[in-house]
Amino acid sequence: MDSTPAVQVAHTSDLTPAELTRIRDLLDAAFEGDFDDDDWDHSLGGVHALIRDEYGRPVAHGCVVQRRVRHADRSYRAGYVEAVAVRADRRREGLGHRVMEALERVIDTAYDFGALSASDAGAALYTARGWQVWPGRLGALGPAGPVALPEEEGSTYVRPTAGRPLPAPGHPLHFDWRDGDLL
């Protein structure tokens, strides 16, 4: 019998309020107080990948949401990865890789490319899975027009989807505006 916990993939709308509360609790603990209401809001409305322990408690989570990204003269649908976390006592078991594998399947079939903003602690996971630091400039399309985000350069990663090349770095990626952290 395989004791590897299954990865559940579900849209936010398919998760109960109790499940969402348990996911938020996992994220609050995993990010040690550096996960706020805006971060939570960014993780809703998309597809979640969730691994539970034998008691049904979440031990690993990540989600992908749609972001509109302007590059040169084109608007792209980017699958933006949010809220990737593994419970502290379950780290180094490959659970983060399994969550990312599920999210990458969603990105590959539904989006033009994948994107995410990585912490220093999370960067190794994404690099090991073939994600690349975006080598160009970054910005957001704010209410008053484009806003440069030089502080996000070097920590924003992209991943091509099957058969689709990444946009060329000669022009900045401008992400849609949102409350809280823009990337």
Q: Where are the domains of the chain?
A: 7-176
Percent of the chain with pLDDT over 70: 98
- Could you give the CA distance from residue 159 to residue 55 in angstroms, rounded to a whole number? 34
Residues in a beta bridge with 58: 52
| Least confident residue range of 2-6, 17-21, 61-65, 121-125 | 2-6
Q: Please give the radius of gyration of the chain, using alpha carbons only, rounded to the nearest integer.
A: 16
| Least confident residue range of 14-28, 38-52, 161-175 | 161-175
Residue 1: pLDDT over 70? no
| The total number of residues written for the chain in this structure | 183
> Is 170 within 8 Å of 75 (Cβ atoms)?
no
**CATH number of the domain located at residue range(s) 7-176 in this protein:** 3.40.630.30
- Could you give the CA distance from residue 17 to residue 146 in angstroms, rounded to a whole number? 36
Return the percent helix, strand and coil in the chain, to nearest 5.
30, 35, 35
The model's pTM is 0.95
